[in-house]
Structure formats: C-alpha cells, structure tokens
Structure 1
Amino acid sequence: MGCARRRLAVGMSDVTNPALSVLDLVPVRTGQSSAQAVTASMALARRADELGYRRYWFAEHHNMPAVASTSPPVLIAAAAAQTSRIRVGSGGVMLPNHAPLIVAEQFAALEAIAPGRVDLGLGRAPGSDPVITQLLRRSGTTSEVDQFPQHITDIMALVRADGATIHFTSGGEYGVRATPAATGVPEVWLLGSSDYSAQLAAAYGLPYVFANHFAGEGLERALALYRSQFQSSEQHPHPRTFVTANVVAARTAEEAERRALPQLRQFARLRTNKPMRALETIEEALENPSDPLEQSLIEQNRARSFVGTGEEVAAALRDFAARHEVDEVMLSPASGSYASDPLDASPGRTETLELLAAQLSPVH
C-alpha cells in the first residue's frame, strides 16, 4: 500500500536511514517544451547534488510526448557538468537499441568528463513500441535481445584500459579500445524487472537493480534469486542491489495526493493503450474524471507508490528498505505540476527531494 495508508505500521526509528538516489525520466507537461523540461531536470540534478543524494540516473524512453529522456548519455554529460559530487548515470541504456562499441565509447567519454562518478545501467527492454524499435535498429548496427549477455561482456572489456581483442577465424588479432588511455571505468549495473535479469546479474557478479517503480510484481523473488545465485567477481565480491520507487512528498497528505494524480493517470493510460499525451497539469487531472478501468489501474499504481507528507514517506521508505535488506532507495519523483508552476522548473519534484532529505539525511 501507499505510505499514507500504511503509516500506522511503520514506526521504525531504529532502522538505519537508507541512502537516497534519483531516477529521472525528464517529464514534459502540458504547455512545456523539451528545452524547458530539460532545464527543470538539470535544476533538479543540482539540487539533488546539494542535498547529498548518492546518484542521479536518466532513463531511456522513445517517442513519448510526456518523456524527454531519449538520450541518457547526453543528459548525463549535461548533469555531470552542473554537479560536483553526485554519481551520474543511466537507468538505463536499453542495450538492444545500440551497438556495444558505441555505448562503451559514450560512457568512456563520460568517465573522462566526470572521473569516478559515472554509472552505466544496462537494460534489455527496447524502451518504446515496436515501430520505434524497428527505426532504432534500421542501421543494422544495434544489438539483438538474445545477444544481450555477450554484449554486456563486450562493453565491460571495451571500457577497460587494455580494451578488448578480436580474434579472427582466419588468424590474427585486432585490438579495440573505447578510449585511447582510460584511467577509470564506469560502474556497470544490470537493470530489470524479471527473473532473467536477476540471474544474469548474479552470474556475471554485477550489481543489480529491480525496476520496482513500474513493475507490478516479482521484486522479492528477483532479489532472492540474485542474492542466492550471486557469483563473486573481482570488482564485486558480494551481491549489491537497491530498489526503485515512485515517490511524492508534500507539506500535507492531501497536497501529495493531488501532486501524484497526473503521473498515476499517465501510467493508467499507458496500460490501457490510450493515446499518449504530455503529462497533465494537476488541474487537468482533477477536472477530467477517469473511466472505471482507468480508475482501477490508478488505484493499483497508487497502492505501490509512496505518497504523503515527508515524515510519512520517509517512514515508509525506511520500512521498504529494511524489508528488502537494501541500504539505498532510488526515487522516481512523480510529483505533478500546477498550471501556474514555472515551465522551466519542477517545484513539486524539488519539494519531494527536499522533504525526504530532511527526514532521511541522504549523505553517506
């Protein structure tokens, strides 16, 4: 259930505060341009850096009117240039859309821009509909889903200082490096919402993140599989994971519910294959009642979200982190905007981060 409905059961002052991170889809609302949406997200990244959040990741989605995070490497570079401490990365790069060498080169360049601060989160889903997937793969240079494990191995080799070696069947070798003289490498994470991704991360000895912010079920099983099957690697001798969550915090529980509604309606529209549009303002969401099916999906998604006052959400996040035995929670700040809010800022999302930082002290 959402935190406002379960707050009576989570008085856990003895639970260690989890570290906090941010997942940003760069939402675009009614009347807002892509440039204004990106400006708002850069301001949010700077504020997360100031507040002590651990990392700031950008998702990859395509051809969605309400989402401007089409190119994580570009957004990561911009955020890296405007922050000084926080880790920046992808949540994630959808590898079937890209050639492994291109991904390796992009993130090697990012590591040179922000040494020691870059995370490369890799996912197996396309991040869009079948038409866009075909357009992304028209050049013939992108990877196939069934080659996902091999391409992860390729990327990890390519970003190393010594690079990778191609062995020709006819004899001979050819060296390949993502960058000429690497002094550091991005940290690779596997992302997913299925048993497959959890087991693959375990087999490769990689950190793993379950996409709980949009997956309806399977979190407990995926984490159990990952931990029980984990194979130690040189970089990661022990399993390492955190969880994601849709979060809205406001000064009052009533205000948080209003702020949460546009994103909840957007998820419901996606699930019912309704035409996508820019994210509604809060006024639009309140003025246009949902049909019964949409309302049912809104309630389901609301039950999996963390919505309430800063104190309520913080208590629920402590409980959530303790229940899943993680020391970090990545927040997808899902707070909507009023029509009167500045187009180049996101006051609701900023307030969510500020209220939770005050309660959970994210600096670790």
Structure 2
Amino acid sequence: MTALTMSVLDLVPVRTDQATGDAVAASLSLARAADRLGYRRYWLAEHHNMPAVAATSPPVLIGLVASVTERIRVGSGGVMLPNHAPLVVAEQFALLEAAFPGRIDLGIGRAPGTDPVTSWALRHGAGGVSDEVVTRFPEYVDNVVAMMEPTGVGLALHGRSHVLKATPAARSVPEIWLLGSSDYSARLAAEKGLPYVFAHHFSGSGTTEALELYRSGFQASPALAEPRTFLTVNASVAPTAEEAERQALPQLLQMVALRTGQPLAAQLLVEEAEKLVADGLPAGHAELVEAMRRRWVIGDPASARAHLESLAASYDVDEVMVNPVGGAFAGGEPGAAPARERTLELLAS
C-alpha cells in the first residue's frame, strides 16, 4: 500500500449462522488483520434494529477494537448525532481518546440510522428525532467539538455561566469528521473547516457533486488548513473474479431488500443466496443487483486494486475506505469472516 492509502469500514454484519457474539468476534479478527496489514483507519457504523447489523454502539465497538489493535486509527463511521445528547458523545470519545491517544476518529452523521419507531425509542420516547434536533445539528456539532477541548465550553443556565468539559484533563482530542450522503453535510463541513466523507458505498450517486461543493466552499479552520476527504466503497476480492462475485451476492441481496422495502433478515450464506437467485428474484430485483454490482469493487486482486486506484483518481482522493462485504460459505466458523479478511489481505499484497 504505497500511493493509495486504504482504510476499513465495518458494519459488523450478522449472518444466518451467527449470534451477535460471533459477529463481534469476526469483526475483532478483521480489525486485527487490518492493523497487521497496514490499513490507516478502522471505522464502525451506527445502525439500529436491523437483523443483519450488530453495529448499534460505535463507542463500545471502538473500545473493543482499539484494545486488540496496536497502531491503526479507530473511529465511528459514524455516530448519528440526532440520536444522542452532544455531551454524551463528547464524553464517550474524550474517554476513548484518553485511553488510546492519537488513535481515535469521531465521524458524525445527521441521519437517524434506523426506522422512525427505533428513532423514537432512542430519544427515550420523547418524540423521536424531532425537526428541532435536525435543525440544530450544526450547533450540536460545535458543542461536541468544544466540549472535548481541554478548556471545555461555557453554558449559560439560570443567569449563571457554567463550564462543561467532556473529561477533566484532556491532553488531546479525537480527529473529527463529518459524514453524509447528500450535499448538506458537504456544505456544513466546508463552512466549519472539518474533513468530510461522502457515503459513496451506500449512495453510489452524487459523490462528484458533494465533493465539489465541499472543496469549492471550504473555509480554513484552526483544525484544518485545506479540504480533506476520502472515498468509501464496497469490495469483495478473491483469487478469482468468479469467487469474488459469489461472495458478494449475499450483501447484494441484502441491499436489494433494504432498497425495495422487503422484510429484513440476517445476511444469507453464499449457498443460501445462490438458491434464492436460482429460484427466481422478484421483478426488477435482478436489474437492481446488477446496477449495484457495477458500482462495487468485485474481482481478483489485480482488477480490484486497479478499480480502487481508478476511483481514487476520478474523485481526487488519496485514501479509500473499503467495506469488505464478502459472504461466508456453509460449514464455516461462526466467529470468523474469512472472505472479508481475505479481501483486505489481497488488496494489501
């Protein structure tokens, strides 16, 4: 990994042969592999009430991953700020940075990361993610940033000024990123002089426009002198293109179910996914699978690496964050994800 720097995105997928503990164990093994192979960052997503995703709490997972790795940066991709009080987020990440100084990233997003009912529950039943919470998102981002600083932030309450600090004696702060899949976060990141990541792995469209908005509107800040961004992409890499295609199929079908409003379930094994396709997909689903497949990086090591380098050049980024999506075959170890690890190994070799 010379000219192209690579990182890892992990949603902690849960397969039909796994319990949650197995999925977490597989992700910890994946993180150790990424650390050993020289990847720059390992980010964990926030999703709720989804049968195939165990990444419900990025701070907890970050602590687990950082404790079993040595040098890789570990962060959130991202924390969905409308779900949480800014002080709670600041406290969590200030503690993580104190425990693992210089290794923690705080990626912040505006989306709820779940359905309306779960959003309601996340806000303690207090009306879900209200319009006010979303409207005040820029203010909440400022609060999180300020609270993690050693001097904290002043809060005026009942005519008196109070100092709020995320942790009593900070010596460093996490690296803060804004994440998004629309132009809103691109504009906000540019305005605040923060690094920005567009969720290309999820959206697949609008990436060029969002990055151009970010770069053209960027205002330098004490934290960042010039625009900084990278690309996220789904990837399945195997010794042969045919094997990589087979291993990508379970996640492709999972995304089709999500996009078409189908009932969600644990991620299928490769054989289960192939049987579903052989039995016949609903009208339009095969075309959706093909459209997504073309946007993903799927193939043998040489073609996959060339595809990543082409994407990096097209979007003018020097870092690519890979979401390894390779599925598992029947009879494998539940606490492992060999296809996902092999994707990282083959890309790094």
Confirm or deny that 1:243 pairs with 2:231.
Answer: yes
Pick aligned residue for 1:166 from 111, 134, 155: 155
Aligned to 1:308: 299
Confirm or deny that 1:261 pairs with 2:246.
Answer: no
> Matched residue of 1:56: which SS?
strand
Confirm or deny that 1:106 pairs with 2:92.
Answer: yes
Pick aligned residue for 1:156 from 112, 128, 145: 145
Render the CA deviation track for 1:203-248: whole Å, top value 9, x for unaligned.
Answer: 0000000000010310000000000000000110000000100001
Of the structure 1 ranges 245-254 and 137-146, higher mean CA displacement relative to structure 2 is found in 137-146
Aligned to 1:275: 263
Following the alignment from structure 2 to structure 1, what is the Cα–Cα distance between the partners of residues 317 and 6? Answer: 11
> Matched residue of 1:292: which SS?
coil
Task: Using the TM superposition, give the Cα deviation of residue 31 of structure 1 relative to its aligned residue in structure 2, in angstroms.
Answer: 2.0
Aligned to 1:6: none
Aligned to 1:17: 3
> Matched residue of 2:197: which SS?
strand
| Map 1:1-364 → 2, pairs under 5 A | 17-138=3-124, 140=126, 144-168=133-157, 171-289=159-277, 290-358=281-349
Render the CA deviation track for 1:31-65: whole Å, top value 9, x for unaligned.
Answer: 20000000000000011000000000000000111
Q: How many residues align?
A: 343
Following the alignment from structure 1 to structure 2, what is the Cα–Cα distance between the partners of residues 230 and 66? Answer: 37
Following the alignment from structure 2 to structure 1, what is the Cα–Cα distance between the partners of residues 295 and 283? Answer: 19
Following the alignment from structure 1 to structure 2, what is the Cα–Cα distance between the partners of residues 191 and 117? Answer: 19
- Which residue type is aligned with residue 33 of structure 2? R
Following the alignment from structure 2 to structure 1, what is the Cα–Cα distance between the partners of residues 151 and 99? Answer: 19
> Matched residue of 1:173: which SS?
strand
Residues 56, 88 of structure 1: 8 Å contact kept: yes
Amino-acid identity (%):
55
> Matched residue of 1:212: which SS?
coil
The alignment yields a C-alpha RMSD, in angstroms, of: 1.4
Task: Using the TM superposition, give the Cα deviation of residue 16 of structure 1 relative to its aligned residue in structure 2, in angstroms.
Answer: 6.8
Stretches of structure 2 lacking an aligned partner (at least 5 in a row): none
Following the alignment from structure 1 to structure 2, what is the Cα–Cα distance between the partners of residues 110 and 273? Answer: 37
> Matched residue of 1:278: which SS?
coil
Task: Using the TM superposition, give the Cα deviation of residue 167 of structure 1 relative to its aligned residue in structure 2, in angstroms.
Answer: 2.2
Task: Using the TM superposition, give the Cα deviation of residue 139 of structure 1 relative to its aligned residue in structure 2, in angstroms.
Answer: 5.4
Following the alignment from structure 2 to structure 1, what is the Cα–Cα distance between the partners of residues 181 and 339? Answer: 27
Following the alignment from structure 2 to structure 1, what is the Cα–Cα distance between the partners of residues 248 and 290? Answer: 11
Residues 55, 86 of structure 1: 8 Å contact kept: yes
- Which residue type is aligned with residue 157 of structure 1? A
Task: Using the TM superposition, give the Cα deviation of residue 171 of structure 1 relative to its aligned residue in structure 2, in angstroms.
Answer: 3.2
Following the alignment from structure 1 to structure 2, what is the Cα–Cα distance between the partners of residues 354 and 16? Answer: 15
> Matched residue of 1:144: which SS?
helix
Residues 248, 259 of structure 1: 8 Å contact kept: yes
Task: Using the TM superposition, give the Cα deviation of residue 340 of structure 1 relative to its aligned residue in structure 2, in angstroms.
Answer: 1.9
> Matched residue of 1:288: which SS?
helix
Render the CA deviation track for 1:4-33: whole Å, top value 9, x for unaligned.
Answer: xxxxxxxxxxx9731000000000001200
Question: Higher relative contact order at CA 8 Å, sep ≥6: structure 1 or structure 2?
Answer: 1
Aligned to 1:7: none
Residues 57, 91 of structure 1: 8 Å contact kept: yes
Normalising by the residue count of structure 2, what TM-score does the alignment of the two structures yield? 0.96
Task: Using the TM superposition, give the Cα deviation of residue 341 of structure 1 relative to its aligned residue in structure 2, in angstroms.
Answer: 1.8
Residues 80, 113 of structure 1: 8 Å contact kept: no
Render the CA deviation track for 1:299-326: whole Å, top value 9, x for unaligned.
Answer: 1111110000011100010111011111
